[in-house]
Amino acid sequence: MTHHLYLGLGSNLGHREQIIQSALALINQALGKVERISSFYETEPWGFESEHKFLNIAAFVLTDLSPHECLYKTQEIERQLGRKQKSTDGIYHDRPIDIDILLYDHLKLSTPDLIIPHPLIKERDFVLIPLKEIYPSDSELCL
């Protein structure tokens, strides 16, 4: 069965656009077909201080994988592209790539390692604006 997966991608270290493009190519190989991506948005860091601005996009992917399989694959892609550690307990830091699962079909899921819809979508314009750009205009965001 094919599922609708929406991802948020961000980078604030290195060649940001190139890293995001590499992440999209790896997503296309490991998760499923990348159907749409939003425009690129340059934004200030959220939740921490840094001199490095972020480049952010949202991507719509058709996948046959489960939500947890998607999580493991995105974390593997982050590691491949140089991410050393995940943010924990609200402590954020500079990173070459961040890939968040935003939505998966109309699923609501809450496990210790994965919450869908992503719990901070509404607080983060750098996620919400690109997501709305690629989300079907005849549908309301299922947050």
Residue 4 pairs with which residues in a beta bridge?
A: 62
State the pLDDT at residue 51: 82
Q: Which of 24, 35, 26, 103 minimizes the C-alpha distance to 57? A: 24
Dihedral sign computed on CA atoms, order 116, 122, 125, 128: positive
pLDDT tens, 72-118? Answer: 999 999 999 987 765 555 556 667 899 999 999 999 999 999 999 98
Residue type, 84: K
Catalytic residues: 83, 95, 98, 100
% of residues, the chain, pLDDT over 90: 65
Q: Which CATH architecture has domain 3-134?
A: 2-Layer Sandwich (3.30)
State the pLDDT at residue 96: 87
Q: Which of 67, 133, 137 minimizes the C-alpha distance to 103? A: 67
State the pLDDT at residue 92: 60
Residue 126 has pLDDT above 80, yes or no: yes
Residue 48 has pLDDT above 80, yes or no: no
d(C-alpha 3, C-alpha 60), whole Å: 10
Query: Which pLDDT band holds residue 39 (cuts at 50, 70, 90)?
Result: very high
Element (H, E) at 9: strand 3-11
User: Is residue 56 a contact partner of residue 133, using CB atoms and an 8 Å limit?
Assistant: no
Q: Which residue has the higher pLDDT, 103 or 51?
A: 103
